[in-house]
Amino acid sequence: MMRHVIGLGLLAGAALAQHNVTTDLTPVLAPGCNRTEPARIRPAHRIAIHYGLGRAEASLVNVTLEMRNPSVLLEEIEDISDVICDDSTVEVLFNSTTAFNLGMAEWSTSESIVLVTNHMGNCDTENERGFFLASSIAWDEATLTATASTVKKELVDTASTTEITFSNVPIAQPASKRAITVSENGITLDGNISLPTSTVLATVDDYVTLTADSAEVSASVTFSGYLKFRILGASLESLYFDIDTTLAAELGLTLDITAAYSDSLEYAPGALSYNLVNIPGIITFGPALVFAIGVELASEGSVTATADIGVAIADGNIHVDFLQMEETTVSGWEPTYSATVNVTEKAQVSVDPYVDVTVELAFELLGGLLDLSAGVTAEPRFSNEFTLSAAQDENGQVDSGNATTCENGLSIESAFEFSVVAFVTQWWSETVYSVEVPIADECYSWL
């Protein structure tokens, strides 16, 4: 059978336009950080900076950096009262003699250190941290002030390796309209499809019409993941993410055919894609939900077919490893389903309705040093083959010359097929789960 997908554009009134929205995460203090610990003053080659929604204890993304020089996170030191920056210096004001003396002892052990600022004084751009390479530091015991001769740097110029962990970043669909909400619990993207009753999805000339009598498709997705990237040499050492999802689809379709036809019809409203989560200068990762509703069909004559199908995934989990496909694993994708397909004429016809849902996550790291996307596609399909089991004359009399006959001259063979395909767009694609379950193989009963 010829396979030619008819791409359908916009449905008036269906509210399915593509959106692009960016939510910037802002620097937050590390959860559980004890700012009074003397160890916070000591420079370290490995530091961790956190980003969230501007509230303490609400970190969504943890960025761990291997620094080229020993580094100090000034935001984690309780005994710093102010930080003042200009083009060539950073002044750090202490409010404790003990902390001042410890800083003078610890910060002088290296030829140069990196001072990391977080919105104290005028040192960094709004909602970003500043990285200052200090080559020498003058200490004023009378004012408890350290004045460092500095050069402002970008993160890529101060770190050798970055590790990024993001967790519990959900994309859910609690409503029937488009919406983005942000709270301490994460970032929520509404991506339901809910079509008005009797929406025409496709027409082919004057002889094929596909109508959605009803259509509800929803998914709820939460991402977690890990990335390790060596900045020196621009090499990706590790990247994986885990997707937890629920999926539900209920479709009522009517297909009217007035002449022989063999093709595929598909309504795909496009990616509901967003540059959704952005840490300026470090990483942008944008989730996308893509829905498609369609029918593969072949008919030798005129017929009207109706289909009512439903499929649900209660708790699908997938671990996608970008670099090692063999480490990709799935669990919980066992679907529940229901299907009823009817035809109004005795006709040789194949009617295979389907709904596809793709969840994709795109990464852009450090202004484009790394640009990748990956995801998973759930593909439930219902195959229905109606076969004339005996020839009929113009008066409706059955010619029993066919060995396999049904009283009404028509048999149906149907099955449910479901597969899960994981992919890394630039590198690989693999079916990681599949199942085929027979539904019926019997004479068709006319109502």
Question: Can you tell me the distance from the alpha carbon of 330 to that of 435, in angstroms, rounded to the nearest whole number?
Answer: 13
Q: 273 versus 336: which is more confidently predicted? A: 336
**What's the DSSP call for residue 309?**
E
Distance of CA 429 to the CA centre of its chain: 16
Residues near 248 by Cβ (< 8 Å), separated by ≥ 6?
216, 217, 218, 219, 310, 311, 312, 313
Instruction: State the pLDDT at residue 228.
Output: 94
Kindly state the average pLDDT of the residues 315-327. Answer: 91
> Model confidence at 205, in pLDDT bands (50, 70, 90)?
confident
**Residue tagged 């017929």 (tokens):** 303
Instruction: State the pLDDT at residue 188.
Output: 42
Q: Residue 310 above 70 pLDDT?
A: yes
Taking a C-beta distance cutoff of 8 angstroms, is the pair 350, 387 a contact?
no
Residues in the chain: 447
Q: Residue 343 above 50 pLDDT?
A: yes
Kindly state the average pLDDT of the residues 314-320. Answer: 91
> Model confidence at 185, in pLDDT bands (50, 70, 90)?
very low
Instruction: State the pLDDT at residue 173.
Output: 39
Taking a C-beta distance cutoff of 8 angstroms, is the pair 243, 374 a contact?
no
Q: Residue 211 above 50 pLDDT?
A: yes
Instruction: State the pLDDT at residue 339.
Output: 87
> Model confidence at 184, in pLDDT bands (50, 70, 90)?
very low
> Model confidence at 362, in pLDDT bands (50, 70, 90)?
confident
Taking all residues of the chain, what is their mean pLDDT, rounded to a whole number? 81
Q: 97 versus 366: which is more confidently predicted? A: 97
Instruction: State the pLDDT at residue 177.
Output: 37
- Most distant CA atoms of the chain, gap in Å: 112
Q: Residue 26 above 50 pLDDT?
A: yes
Question: Can you tell me the distance from the alpha carbon of 189 to that of 217, in angstroms, rounded to the nearest whole number?
Answer: 14
> Model confidence at 111, in pLDDT bands (50, 70, 90)?
very high
Distance of CA 243 to the CA centre of its chain: 8
For the record, the structure tokens of 363 come out as 């990464």
For the question of whether the overall pTM of this predicted structure is more than 0.75, the answer is yes
For the record, the structure tokens of 350 come out as 């194949």
Q: 274 versus 37: which is more confidently predicted? A: 37
Residues near 234 by Cβ (< 8 Å), separated by ≥ 6?
369, 370
Query: CA 29 → CA 76, 283, 365, distances in Å?
Result: 7, 18, 22
Q: Residue 74 above 60 pLDDT?
A: yes
**Residue tagged 């490893």 (tokens):** 321
Instruction: Count other C-beta atoms under 10 Å from residue 355's C-beta.
Output: 24
Q: Residue 327 above 90 pLDDT?
A: yes
Of 332, 334, 337, 336, the C-alpha closest to 315 is: 332
Q: 421 versus 361: which is more confidently predicted? A: 421
Instruction: State the pLDDT at residue 145.
Output: 98
Q: 285 versus 315: which is more confidently predicted? A: 315
Instruction: State the pLDDT at residue 323.
Output: 92
pLDDT tens for 118-153 read: 876 678 887 889 999 999 999 999 999 999 999 999
Instruction: State the pLDDT at residue 279.
Output: 86
SS3 state at 349:
strand
Q: Residue 341 above 50 pLDDT?
A: yes
B/e letters for 102-117, b = 16+ CB within 10 Å, e = fewer, are: bbbebbeeeebbbbbb
Q: Residue 23 above 80 pLDDT?
A: no
